């Protein structure tokens, strides 16, 4: 191995994620940079990866990088930095982080469009170029832009890279066509009108004259002038083209601590969070507003436009990858000023970020659940703003434990808007007393029945929420005690009346419901508990003739079905709707006459130290969502619990005064950080063995700074025939960050037979 050889680590956005070291051929070295896409070989196949950090050469034979598809990096430095934090703190590979960060994964072939910069078109003599470079720039100037399709010779890539580095050219990476929004066409003052030929060129010139001499390319193609006609007009010297880029950096009040805006109404908090946004945009700055759920983005974008006149671009999973990639690139150029998106928008490479606002920071949806890294908006936003220096704002009606403690200790600034005057005080129903009065059949209390009846009489809809699907969640035999359980998972199956089946909500398997006990063959089967199906059945019995609908993932299994449901709901097509938490968005509708929580105790029965926090936050959110004057009825068996007594007035301060002492005593967040390592596989003995080994490694990495519990079986010991063990560590953030790469090495993908290991830092669920 040549000691002078340059070695770089290459990361992949699909398994295996790497990193793997590769040697850089000398002729490609100038264009192999952090964030560059490279074509390499893994085993016997070709793959495309992203260049990460430089690596120290070892005494082994390295494979060479085969090709570089483009002259400039595909992944901007800002996105690389955020992805690197997510990978380090949340103990995953950088490749996995890039998988989530990039709206479109890199490919081995691509087309880049190069344009002259505005500064070069104004002062070309200022740039010291050789003859070849000057001729190349003049050629691009004559055609308006140049499409460079991979693969290209190294000398060509190096020439284009140098012109970009010196500010002569700017590039639209991996583009399908010329940029319509940011490519600006301007009428040249000394253009010879005699050269103008054809209707397209006339339309171009007329449109530019009407626009004051310049316009985006999209405006010209919109009046019937194809981009090819624009290119011909450039070649004739009638017009010029350039790609708009970064403006001057805005002045930012550096050093300000994060701001927590608590209390008030959602509108009051948002208004305070975006205070000064108009001036920021006027000064050329950018803003990011992070929402917990997709459906809320449109309303926030509309609010921003109404308050500031700024067009906010949405960035979330409901936007196509192509449109997200366009936004990704425009954000980098600084031409998109305001983005409203979900947590993935934190990876956007802002050119001039001046404000980051995370709305409803306490919402569990701010935490990534689906795939590693399991990052969270709050911590990631904090790191992004530390790098870029913008104002950082969090809002919440019921702050999380971490935010509340940070504000009370002075690490965050705190603005308390006070109790919202429009807060809808809930009416609590003691279901223990109701059962004693009515009997065990009581599902809908007398108070809730009365409110539903009044709603129906007024021609409005009733919304009833119960966070459990199915008919009853637990069926057993009253004679022999047999319990229906999933044969693949260590859980009870749920009876679904619609299917006449016992279904597992973890693996999806189902079996027909028998008329008798499979064990003793007696017809003494008993169901315990409530689900959406049973509540809907009871509502139909109590209110004959009412149009009753169900809203849960069983009734609305596809996006199309869900869209049809919401369209009909908004049109007033249902009298009563029974559903899970997905109905929270319905609570604020104009034509809702009552909102009822059929069983507010569901979360309190789970093995989760955050159960009371989640219940309190759910009730406060409902109090905000339900319109003033609309009854909010909450049924509970534990009305004296502090999560209910403090929720009456949305008093988060009283709630945390009651909750914090136990958290501190047990060393739970926010006083310490948690790290959950889960081991699972088909072979129980191998899982137990691997869990023991993992436990030893975790203890060795974290040392005395951590309290490690485990290995122990997970609360649900088996799911989909895969046995599950876990190790839980209590430690602090610096220890996790320090040992992030070592902890990430614990992760092992699980195949059909393999034992998988997955690290989750700051977990929000433990089942």
Q: Give the chain's end-to-end CA distance (angstroms, integer).
A: 49
Least confident of 135-149, 363-377, 454-468, 631-645: 135-149
Residue 271: pLDDT band with limits 50, 70, 90: very high
Token duo for residue 4? 């002078």
Nearest Cα neighbor of 251 from 226, 275, 284 is 284
Average pLDDT of span 233-259: 73
Q: Which residues are registered as beta bridge partners of 367?
A: 376
360 Cβ contact partners less than 8 Å away, ≥ 6 residues apart: 291, 292, 366, 395, 396, 397, 621
% residues pLDDT > 90 (the chain)? 53
Question: What sign does the dihedral 702-705-711-714 (CA atoms) show?
Answer: negative
393 pLDDT tier (thresholds 50, 70, 90): very high
Structure tokens at 530: 């409530």
Q: Is the pLDDT of residue 686 over 70?
A: yes
pLDDT of 517 reads: 93
Task: Give the model's pLDDT for residue 192.
Answer: 55
Distance CA 586, CA 74 (A): 42
pLDDT in tens, 691-712: 999 999 989 888 888 899 889 9
Length of the chain: 767
pLDDT digits (tens, 9 = 90+) for 341-352: 999 999 999 988
Residue 253 pLDDT more than 70?
A: no
Among candidate residues 425, 412, 426, the one with its CA nearest the CA of residue 262: 412
Structure tokens at 199: 């209707």
Q: Please count the CA atoms within 13 angstroms of the CA of 455 that sit on its side-chain side.
A: 31
Instruction: Output the pLDDT for position 57.
Output: 87
Question: pLDDT of 101-130, one tens digit each?
Answer: 999 999 988 999 999 888 888 888 788 888
For the ranges 178-187, 223-232, 442-451, 568-577, which has the lowest average pLDDT?
A: 223-232
- Provide the pLDDT for residue 559: 84
595: helix, strand or coil: strand
User: Beta strand 592-597 with 673-681: parallel, antiparallel or unpaired?
Assistant: unpaired
Confidence class for position 13, pLDDT limits 50, 70, 90: very high
**pLDDT: which is higher, 251 or 5:** 5
pLDDT of residue 247: 60
- What pLDDT is attached to residue 58? 85
Quick: pLDDT tens for 274-312.
998 988 888 889 999 999 999 899 999 999 999 888 899
Flag whether pLDDT at 482 surpasses 70.
yes
From residue 37, give the alpha-carbon distance in Å to each of 12, 32, 574, 607, 674.
10, 8, 53, 45, 35
What's the pLDDT band for 65 if we cut at 50, 70, 90? Answer: very high
- Residue 145 DSSP symbol: -
Average pLDDT, stretch 703-722? Answer: 88
pLDDT exceeds cutoff 90 at 496: yes
- Does pLDDT of 589 surpass 90? no
- pLDDT score for 423: 67
- What pLDDT, on the 0 to 100 scale, is given for residue 140? 87
Q: Which of these ranges, 15-19, 124-128, 356-360, 494-498, has the smallest mean pLDDT?
A: 124-128
What does the pLDDT read at residue 529? 87
Distances (CA, A) of 66 to 34, 150, 426: 17, 13, 65
Which stretches within 144-243 are classed as H helix? 154-165, 198-210, 217-221, 227-235
β partners of residue 38 = 49
Q: Is the pLDDT of residue 600 over 70?
A: yes
Over range 393-406, report the average pLDDT.
94
The yes-or-no verdict on residue 198 having pLDDT over 90 is: no
pLDDT at 40: 94
Given CA atoms 577, 583, 584, 590 in this order, what sign does their dihedral have? negative
- pTM for the full model? 0.90
- Burial pattern 390-416, b for ≥16 Cβ within 10 A else e, equals bbbbbbbbbbbbbbbbbbeeeebebbe
Q: Which of 730, 727, 688, 723 is nearest to 707 (CA)?
A: 730
């Amino acid at each position: 191995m040549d000691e002078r050889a340059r070695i770089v680590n290459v990361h992949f956005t699909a398994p295996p994620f790497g990193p793997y070291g590769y040697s850089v051929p000398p002729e490609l070295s100038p264009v192999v940079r952090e964030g560059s896409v490279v074509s390499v070989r893994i085993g016997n196949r070709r793959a495309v990866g992203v260049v990460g950090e430089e690596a120290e050469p070892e005494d082994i034979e390295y494979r060479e990088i085969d090709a570089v598809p483009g002259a400039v990096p595909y992944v901007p430095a800002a996105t690389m930095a955020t992805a690197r934090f997510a990978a380090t703190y949340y103990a995953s590979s950088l490749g996995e982080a890039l998988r989530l960060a990039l709206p479109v994964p890199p490919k081995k072939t691509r087309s880049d469009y190069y344009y002259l910069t505005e500064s070069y078109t104004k002062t070309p003599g200022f740039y010291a170029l050789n003859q070849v470079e000057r001729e190349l720039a003049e050629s691009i100037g004559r055609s308006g832009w140049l499409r460079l399709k991979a693969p290209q010779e190294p000398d060509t890539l190096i020439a284009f890279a140098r012109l970009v580095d010196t500010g002569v050219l700017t590039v639209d990476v991996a583009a399908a066509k010329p940029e319509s929004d940011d490519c600006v066409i301007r009428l040249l003052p000394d253009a010879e009108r005699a050269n103008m030929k054809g209707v397209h060129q006339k339309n171009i010139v007329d449109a530019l004259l009407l626009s004051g001499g310049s316009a985006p390319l999209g405006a010209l193609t919109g009046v019937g002038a194809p981009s090819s006609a624009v290119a011909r007009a450039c070649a004739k010297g009638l017009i010029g083209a350039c790609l708009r880029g970064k403006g001057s950096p805005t002045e930012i009040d550096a050093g300000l601590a994060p701001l927590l805006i608590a209390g008030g109404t959602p509108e009051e908090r948002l208004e305070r969070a975006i205070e000064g946004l108009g001036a920021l945009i006027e000064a050329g700055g950018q803003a990011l507003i992070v929402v917990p759920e997709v459906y809320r983005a449109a309303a926030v974008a509309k609010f921003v436009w109404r308050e500031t006149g700024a067009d906010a671009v949405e960035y979330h999973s409901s936007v196509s990858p192509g449109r997200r990639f366009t936004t990704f690139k425009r954000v980098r150029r600084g031409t998109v000023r305001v983005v409203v998106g979900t947590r993935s928008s934190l990876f956007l490479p802002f050119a001039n970020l001046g404000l980051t606002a995370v709305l409803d920071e306490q919402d569990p949806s701010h935490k990534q659940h689906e795939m590693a890294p399991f990052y969270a908006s709050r911590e990631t936003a904090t790191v992004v703003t530390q790098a870029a220096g913008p104002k950082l704002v969090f809002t919440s009606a019921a702050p999380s434990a971490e935010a509340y403690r940070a504000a009370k200790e002075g690490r965050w600034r705190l603005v308390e808007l006070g109790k919202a005057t429009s807060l809808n005080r809930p009416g609590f129903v003691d279901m223990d007393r109701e059962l004693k009065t009515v009997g065990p059949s009581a599902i809908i209390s007398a108070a809730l029945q009365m409110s539903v009846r009044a709603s129906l009489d007024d021609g409005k809809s009733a919304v009833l929420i119960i966070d459990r699907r199915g008919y009853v969640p637990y069926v057993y035999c009253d004679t022999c005690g047999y319990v229906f359980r999933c044969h693949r998972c260590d859980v009870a199956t749920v009876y679904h009346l619609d299917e006449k089946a016992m279904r597992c909500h973890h693996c999806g398997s189902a079996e027909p419901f028998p008329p008798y006990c499979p064990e003793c063959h007696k017809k003494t089967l008993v169901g315990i508990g409530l689900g959406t199906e049973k509540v809907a059945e009871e509502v139909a019995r109590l209110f004959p003739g009412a149009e009753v609908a169900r809203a849960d993932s069983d009734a609305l299994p596809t996006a199309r079905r869900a869209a049809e449901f919401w369209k009909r709901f908004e049109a007033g097509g249902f009298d009563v709707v029974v559903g899970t938490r997905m109905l929270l968005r319905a609570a604020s509708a104009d034509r809702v006459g009552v909102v009822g929580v059929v069983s507010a105790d569901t979360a309190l029965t789970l093995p989760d130290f955050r159960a009371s926090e989640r219940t309190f936050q759910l009730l406060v959110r409902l109090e905000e969502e339900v319109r003033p004057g609309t009854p909010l009825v909450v049924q509970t068996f534990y009305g004296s619990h502090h999560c209910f007594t403090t929720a009456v007035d949305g008093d988060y301060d009283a709630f945390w005064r009651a909750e914090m002492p136990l958290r501190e005593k047990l060393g739970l967040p926010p006083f310490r950080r948690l790290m959950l390592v889960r081991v699972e596989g088909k072979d129980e003995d191998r899982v137990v063995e691997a869990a023991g080994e993992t436990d030893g490694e975790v203890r060795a990495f974290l040392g005395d700074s951590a309290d490690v519990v485990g290995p122990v079986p997970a609360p649900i010991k088996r799911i989909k025939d895969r046995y599950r063990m876990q190790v839980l560590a209590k430690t602090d953030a610096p220890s996790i960050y320090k040992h992030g790469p070592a902890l990430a090495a614990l992760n092992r993908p699980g195949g059909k037979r393999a034992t998988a290991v997955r690290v989750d830092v700051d977990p929000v669920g433990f089942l």
